[in-house]
């Protein structure tokens, strides 16, 4: 047995990626365009993209809500998991990010319609609730971490029994292990983990995710 070391962890991540997430021209173009437009490369990893895609399929999701679009990389993975009568709404606060995402999604050849709504996520979520939008089957939370608890409350209001609620970046390279992290995003992620652990409407777990450093994704199912 080899001891854990950063090189070995990275090799294992690449081994999994080579087997299950082979290079794909649409996703390569998505990342290239995001980089060319100067967007930060903070999208989910390829393997995590594959994970949310599989979770959407396992949940037989038809209606998906994403909070935090960036250039539409995770959006592409999620949309590919949907049947032709499915739909996806994704919320983005930065108009420039939304513009890059629109271009990327339009040429991705996706099986479903993707609607990008531009604005602060909390306000857009309240609008969806007020409009009595049909419940979503899967909700992926991935915008500002300080607001995660608020996004969770709104997500539960937009869910039905069995809805999957996923949240990215909840381990923050271990920052959530601190009693009171200095950074507001780290505190938001830590608070989220504690809320979903004891929430009466949820069954939850956090799975570690290897990116440039170790992060994690929360998986919750609404009772």
Residues at the interface with Mg ion (CB under 5 A): 142, 168-169
Q: Which residue number, 91 or 154, has a Cβ lying nearer to ligand SAH?
A: 91
Place of tokens 């390829």: 46
86 contact, one of ligand SAH, ligand DHB, Mg ion, none, CB 5-8 Å limit per kind: none
Minimal distance, residue 132 CB to ligand SAH, in Å: 22
**Cβ pair 115, 89 in contact under 8 A:** yes
Smallest distance, Å, CB 66 to ligand SAH? 6
Please write down the long-range contacts of 85-89, taking CB distance under 8 Å and 24 or more positions apart: 85/112, 86/61, 86/62, 86/111, 86/112, 87/62, 87/63, 87/112, 87/113, 87/114, 87/115, 88/63, 88/64, 88/112, 88/113, 88/114, 88/115, 89/64, 89/65, 89/114, 89/115, 89/117, 89/128
Least distance between ligand DHB and beta carbon 2 (Å): 28
The item of ligand DHB, Mg ion, ligand SAH, none sharing an interface with residue 206, based on CB under 5 to 8 Å by kind, is: none
Residue 21 interacts with which of Mg ion, ligand DHB, ligand SAH, none, CB < 5 to 8 Å by class? none
Between residues 37 and 135, which has the closer beta carbon with respect to Mg ion? 37
Select 68 or 86, whichever has its Cβ closest to ligand SAH: 68
Give me the residues that bind ligand SAH (CB under 6 A), please. Answer: 42-44, 68-70, 73-74, 91-94, 97, 120-121, 142-144
Q: How far is the CB of 1 from Mg ion (least distance, A)?
A: 32
């Amino acid at each position: 047995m080899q001891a854990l070391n950063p090189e070995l962890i990275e090799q294992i991540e690449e081994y999994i990626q080579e087997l299950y997430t082979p290079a794909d021209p649409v996703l390569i173009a998505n990342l290239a365009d995001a980089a060319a437009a100067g967007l930060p490369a903070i999208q989910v990893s390829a393997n995590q993209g594959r994970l949310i895609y599989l979770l959407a399929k396992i949940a037989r999701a038809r209606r998906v809500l994403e909070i935090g679009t960036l250039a539409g990389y995770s959006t592409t993975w999620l949309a590919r998991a949907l049947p032709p009568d499915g739909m996806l709404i994704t919320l983005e606060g930065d108009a420039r990010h939304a513009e890059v995402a629109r271009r990327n999604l339009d040429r991705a050849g996706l099986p479903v319609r993707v609607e990008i709504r531009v604005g602060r996520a909390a306000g857009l979520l309240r609008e969806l609730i007020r409009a009595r939008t049909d419940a979503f089957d899967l909700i992926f939370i991935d915008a500002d971490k300080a607001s995660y608890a608020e996004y969770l409350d709104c997500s539960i209001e937009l869910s039905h029994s069995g809805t999957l609620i996923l949240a990215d970046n909840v381990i923050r390279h271990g920052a959530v292990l601190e009693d009171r992290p200095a950074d507001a995003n780290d505190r938001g992620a830590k608070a989220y983990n504690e809320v979903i652990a004891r929430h009466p409407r949820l069954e939850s777990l956090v799975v570690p995710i290897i990116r440039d450093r170790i992060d994690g994704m929360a998986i919750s199912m609404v009772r």
